[in-house]
Amino acid sequence: MIQRYQKGPRMSQAVVHAGTVYIAGKVARDGKAPLQEQTRDVLEQIEALLAEVGSSKSKLLAVNIYLPNIADFAAMNSVYDTWIDKDNPPVRACVEARLADPDLRVEITAIAAV
């Protein structure tokens, strides 16, 4: 069975299948905010989606982070490192990539167990 959460015309924000939740790329609601605020907002959105489907950040399996400027790596990590469950860190990738809106400073996708 496949369950879709927060469905829109183009995509779902989360999809659960076979005990795994796939979270769509999340970006900050305020693209004008500084990078660290954008990162905090994105991680809060991910945590809320995980809770909605019955999961949590302790069950994260994989996280992919996209930064339009890889020089922001340390600043992004300063927020990410305080948020992540240190006893259950997921695998992770972080790459430099142009995002859909030039004001956005970070986008994050996630996969977790339910």
Per-residue model confidence as pLDDT tens digits over 48-98 = 999 999 999 999 999 999 999 999 999 999 999 999 999 999 999 999 999
* Run of H or E residues at 75: helix 73-83
In this prediction, what percent of the chain has a pLDDT beyond 70?
A: 100
Nearest-angstrom CA–CA distance, 39 and 89: 17
Question: How sure is the predictor about 110, in pLDDT bands with cuts at 50, 70 and 90?
Answer: very high
Which of 109, 102, 87 has its CA nearest to residue 32? Answer: 102
Nearest-angstrom CA–CA distance, 47 and 21: 12
Q: What pLDDT sits at residue 51?
A: 98
Domains of the chain, with CATH numbers?
2-113 (3.30.1330.40)
Q: How far apart are the first and last CA of the chain?
A: 14
Question: How sure is the predictor about 109, in pLDDT bands with cuts at 50, 70 and 90?
Answer: very high
